[in-house]
Structure 1
Amino acid sequence: MGKREILEMVKDGSISIDDALKELGGEGYNDLGYSKIDYDRKRRKGYPEVIFCQGKSIEHVRGIIKDMLEHGEDILGTRADRTMYDELKRDFPDLKYNEDGRIIYLKRSHSQPVGRILVATGGTSDIPVAEEAACVAEFFGNNVGRLYDVGVAGLHRLLSHMDELRRAKVIIAVAGMEGALASVVAGLVSCPVIAVPTSVGYGANFHGLSALLTMLNSCASGVAVVNIDNGFGAAYIASIINRMGEKI
């Protein structure tokens, strides 16, 4: 409903002021005391609230999931370890877990996946961050491909997948060490490349800082960069790009 229609309904008494505020996005959250769950986010952004599990107690995550399920929401939680998942699954038997990506999820709504997001890594050690990105992108309703261990130390491995690279609508390039993968990929394709530096590497990698700086200084056009190890952020941006032109 539009704002004018909602205001008219308030005037004629067919909707309360509280309900009107929720429709207008002036409230739209539930306050649990320790967490304010944003139930208006899907309307505003196209995607629902996501739980960042790291640093939260199991009890808090359990309470958030319970409330979200009661509101008919699908569940996506990032940075959840195995202990948290095992505890939560006792209360939510349908909850699933991607161990590499540390993702918990429970999806009851289903739609046909669209477009094509390709997640590529420089090395096998980058897979945990890549799986976070791939799992989130799949949860958001995208077709997702994986292309792992195709870094610049053996460029022929990447070049043997040119058809797959060129079919993608957006590519997520995940790499540690010096982080050169994103520049190489962006120089070969016409689609946007989301670069994800990882904290993988020896001492002078500075826990991902060297890869981050390489990606920020890329001479290839069409590269956007997210924070170190931020597979979720890359997947979110890639999902928006992949679904541009349609109503989510």
Structure 2
Amino acid sequence: MSPKELLEKYKKGEISLTEALEHFPDRGIEEMGFATIDTDRLSRTGLPEVIYASGKTVEQVSLIAERMYQKGIDVLATRATPAMFESVKQRIPGAQYNELAKTITYKQSQTPATKGYIAIVAAGTSDIPVAEEAVETALFLGNRVEKIYDVGVAGIHRLFHRLELIRNARVIIVVAGMEGALASVVGGLVDKPVIGVPTSIGYGANFEGLSALLSMLNSCASGVSVVNIDNGFGAGCQASLINKL
């Protein structure tokens, strides 16, 4: 039985948790000493194991990526440096690097793109790196993506010029630093879920994204949810789950 079938039997009460685990020789785990890869995460949650590269060494990132590749798992590494990419590319020649997003990706099989799309809206050009992390994550997870960049509230007419494209999305990610007002503005103009991503872009009183985070959390626009500061990856994952409902 597949992991998904075992999970369904467990949910229905047909087998106990102990019996279900007995059918997993490795229990969805790939031990590497310095890392333990969750090989069953995709079938269990709809989202695959992903490498968070920050804090890891170049060798650790490349070894984890290689092991995932060998196990048939598509590779996404976030917060990766160019040196990490060069090392991964030696082990996985087809790997790609987005310098702005700081992501390494490798897809072993092409996932059919969703019919609906995710609109990713960035307030300013300085917010694009975080927006690009959301873009790469959403694309990796098999979503169509439309990018709308540099449409912040300082020139709100730029947003209205792209409003139809935004409104036709199934879910919208809004990436903004400074005071983070764009998430509320968009939330008041659309009938789709809005995911706010505060960024650490801004002058001193921005407190490295804290002011934008609090603004988004205090939004009076209904339907706006918020992820952590600079967390384009988290927003891409949440938007993908919504888009595939």
Shared fold, TM over 0.5? yes
Whole-angstrom distance in 1 between the partners of 2:34 and 2:107: 24
Whole-angstrom distance in 2 between the partners of 1:53 and 1:95: 15
C-alpha deviation, 1:18, in angstroms: 7.4
Task: Please tell me the root mean square deviation across aligned C-alpha atoms, in Å.
Answer: 2.0
Q: Where does residue 106 of structure 2 map in the other structure?
A: 106
Q: Where does residue 206 of structure 2 map in the other structure?
A: 205
Q: Where does residue 221 of structure 1 map in the other structure?
A: 222
- After superposing on structure 2, the runs of 4+ consecutive aligned residues of structure 1 that deviate more than 3 Å are 1-7, 16-19
Any idea what the Cα deviations from partners look like across 1:3-62, whole Å, max 9, x if unmatched? 49989xxxxxxxx9976035xxx8211111100000110111112100001111111112
How many correspondences in the alignment? 233
Name the aligned partner's letter for residue 24 of structure 2.
L
Q: Where does residue 143 of structure 1 map in the other structure?
A: 144
* Bigger mean CA offset, 87-96 vs 167-176: 87-96
Name the aligned partner's letter for residue 158 of structure 2.
R
TM-score (norm 2): 0.91
Q: Where does residue 152 of structure 1 map in the other structure?
A: 153
Whole-angstrom distance in 2 between the partners of 1:191 and 1:127: 22
Query: Are the equivalent residues in 2 in contact too, given 1:127–1:148 (CA < 8 A)?
Result: yes
C-alpha deviation, 1:153, in angstroms: 0.2
Q: Where does residue 170 of structure 1 map in the other structure?
A: 171
Name the aligned partner's letter for residue 156 of structure 1.
H
Any idea what the Cα deviations from partners look like across 1:51-74, whole Å, max 9, x if unmatched? 001111111112111211111111
Whole-angstrom distance in 1 between the partners of 2:21 and 2:207: 51
Name the aligned partner's letter for residue 116 of structure 1.
Y
C-alpha deviation, 1:91, in angstroms: 2.4
Unaligned runs of at least 5 residues, structure 2: 11-18
Query: Are the equivalent residues in 1 in contact too, given 2:65–2:88 (CA < 8 A)?
Result: no
Closer/same/farther in 2, CA of residues 151 and 4 from structure 1, 3 Å limit: closer
Query: Are the equivalent residues in 2 in contact too, given 1:6–1:20 (CA < 8 A)?
Result: no
Superposed counterparts of 1:2-81, under 5 Å? 2-3=5-6, 20-22=23-25, 27-81=27-81
Query: Are the equivalent residues in 1 in contact too, given 2:119–2:172 (CA < 8 A)?
Result: yes
Closer/same/farther in 2, CA of residues 193 and 90 from structure 1, 3 Å limit: same
Query: Are the equivalent residues in 2 in contact too, given 1:186–1:223 (CA < 8 A)?
Result: yes
Unaligned runs of at least 5 residues, structure 1: 8-15
The share of aligned pairs that are identical, in percent, is 54
Matched residue of 2:145: which SS? strand
C-alpha deviation, 1:111, in angstroms: 2.5
Matched residue of 1:196: which SS? strand
Query: Are the equivalent residues in 1 in contact too, given 2:66–2:88 (CA < 8 A)?
Result: no
Whole-angstrom distance in 2 between the partners of 1:207 and 1:218: 19
C-alpha deviation, 1:194, in angstroms: 0.2
